[in-house]
């Protein structure tokens, strides 16, 4: 590792094969915590390159615990995290709304590393039991229209660096890998990205896949459609900027979509929203993300149709029913 670090400290970057080899060795615990921390720190000082991200991703997918699910018509709604905004769990809430609207969801998530409450934290707090058995996950998908894949159960490398990431409490390149390595490999993905430069790298990488993707970025630094400012939406066909009004909503304030100070508080907010007791601003943000996700599949009509479906899912109790069936 010393030679690798010196090479990188001299402003060099890794090839795809070098990045892949190093990630495999990290997963195999070949380096001590100090060496891995130093390696991670390099990417705090500069952005990751396309070849590095490709190599890291390929390694994680190669080492992933296999999962056998029917995902030919499924979507994942996920954010990189690391935007420092401490919002409610918008992508996870949108996932349940989308599931309630009739779209299958294979949600990939993890504990929060650079935030208090990640998707895994909130679902665990609500009583969900993580699974890595394909049959049980498929059963969840069939009965609740959604299943949840807790990343460390499927990625040895993420498990080996979990405590280190939490102790650092900073956004690292592992934030960027999470949305790219869903072991179920769903046909559709909606990925929130905190940084436009990173969004470009994602765009180049995902255009090589045969899957459908949509990248969303809040122009004031959110890794989701926040409605606090305009949002950039990028697909294989190009990119557009949308205001809150374009999406059918009023703008919201950053304070109105803040998470709680603890996992317990955030989980309570989460359930309140699915119970139909969220504030207008909270509801607007999760509905905007869910509607864009539904529209992205090209199965539910135009955007206005998708917004109506999302509203029926949230306010008609369908999203809540999906959560209850998942927890059952």
What DSSP letter does each residue of 134-179 carry, written as one string? HHHHHHHHHHHSEEEEEHHHH-HHHHHTHHHHHHHTS--HHHHHGG
Considering only residues 195 and 305, tell me which one the structure prediction assigns the higher pLDDT. Answer: 305
- Given a contact cutoff of 8 angstroms between Cβ atoms, the answer to whether 322 and 96 are in contact is yes
Instruction: State how far the alpha carbon of 98 is from the alpha carbons of 74, 88, 209, 249, 317, in Å.
Output: 11, 17, 23, 18, 12
N-terminal to C-terminal alpha carbon distance within the chain? 46
Residue 77, classed as helix, strand or coil, is strand
Phi and psi at residue 137, in whole multiples of 5°?
Answer: -65, -40
pLDDT at 114: 64
Sheet with strand 212-218: strands edge to edge: 146-150, 105-109, 75-79, 188-192, 212-218, 231-235, 238-242
Look up residue 191 and give its DSSP letter: E
Whole-angstrom CA distances from 42 to 17, 46, 74, 224 are 18, 7, 36, 26
Per DSSP, the three-state class of 204 is: helix
**Encoding tokens for residue 184?**
């179920």
SS (H, E, C) 207-258: CCCCCEEEEEEECCCECCCCCCCCEEEEECCEEEEECCHHHCCCCCCHHHHE
DSSP three-state, residue 109: strand
Percentage of residues of the chain with pLDDT beyond 90 = 80
Predicted pLDDT at 164: 78
206-220: average pLDDT: 94
Is residue 165 scored above 90 in pLDDT? no
Q: Give the pLDDT of residue 161.
A: 79
Per-residue pLDDT tens digits for 265-283: 999 999 999 999 999 999 9
Nearest to 212 by CA among 304, 288, 131, 103: 103
Q: Beta strand 212-218 with 188-192: parallel, antiparallel or unpaired?
A: parallel
Higher pLDDT, 29 or 327: 327
Q: Which CATH number fits domain 2-63: 1.20.970.10, 1.10.1740.10, 1.10.10.10, 1.10.3720.10?
A: 1.20.970.10
Q: How does residue 116 score in pLDDT terms, banded at 50, 70 and 90? A: confident
pLDDT tens-digit series, residues 55-97: 999 999 999 999 999 999 999 999 988 788 999 999 999 999 9
What are the residue boundaries of the structural domains of the chain, listed by start? 2-63, 75-327
Could you give the 3-state DSSP secondary structure of residue 190?
Answer: strand
- Is 70 exceeded by the pLDDT of residue 179? yes
Report yes or no: 105 and 93 within 8 Å, Cβ to Cβ: no
Q: Kindly report the pTM of this predicted structure.
A: 0.94
Domain 75-327, what fold?
Pyrimidine Nucleoside Phosphorylase; Chain A, domain 2 (3.40.1030)
- Chain segment 296-319, per-residue pLDDT in tens: 999 999 999 999 999 999 999 999
**Average pLDDT over every residue of 136-147:** 97
The Cα–Cα gap between 185 and 74 comes to 9
Mean confidence (pLDDT) of the chain: 93
């Amino acid at each position: 590792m010393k030679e690798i670090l010196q090479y990188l400290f001299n402003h060099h970057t890794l090839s795809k094969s070098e990045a892949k080899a190093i990630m495999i060795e990290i997963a195999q615990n070949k380096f001590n915590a100090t060496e891995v921390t130093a390696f991670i720190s390099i990417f705090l000082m500069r952005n990751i390159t396309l070849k590095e991200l490709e190599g890291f991703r390929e390694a994680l997918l190669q080492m992933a615990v296999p999962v056998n699910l029917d995902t030919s018509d499924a979507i994942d709604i996920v954010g990189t995290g690391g935007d420092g905004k401490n919002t409610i769990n918008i992508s996870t809430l949108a996932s349940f709304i989308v599931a309630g609207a009739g779209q299958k969801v294979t949600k990939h998530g993890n504990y929060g590393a650079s935030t208090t409450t990640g998707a895994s934290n909130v679902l665990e707090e609500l009583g969900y039991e993580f699974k890595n058995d394909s049959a049980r996950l498929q059963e969840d998908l069939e009965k609740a229209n959604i299943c949840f894949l807790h990343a460390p159960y499927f990625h040895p490398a993420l498990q080996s660096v979990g405590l280190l990431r939490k102790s650092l409490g900073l956004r690292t390149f592992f934030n960027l890998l999470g949305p790219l390595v869903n072991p179920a490999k769903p046909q559709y993905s909606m990925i929130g990205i905190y940084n436009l430069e990173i969004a470009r790298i994602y765009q180049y990488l995902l255009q090589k896949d045969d899957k459908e993707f949509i990248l969303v970025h809040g122009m004031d630094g959110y890794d989701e459609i926040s409605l606090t400012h305009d949002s950039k939406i990028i697909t294989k066909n190009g990119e557009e900027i949308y205001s809150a009004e374009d999406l059918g909503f009023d703008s919201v304030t950053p304070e109105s979509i803040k998470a709680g100070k603890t996992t317990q508080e955030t989980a309570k907010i989460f359930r309140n929203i699915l119970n139909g007791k969220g504030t207008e601003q909270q509801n607007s943000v999760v509905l905007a993300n869910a509607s864009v996700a539904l529209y992205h599949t090209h199965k539910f009509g135009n955007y206005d149709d998708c917004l109506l479906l999302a509203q029926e899912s949230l306010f008609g109790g369908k999203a809540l029913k999906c959560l209850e069936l998942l927890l059952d």
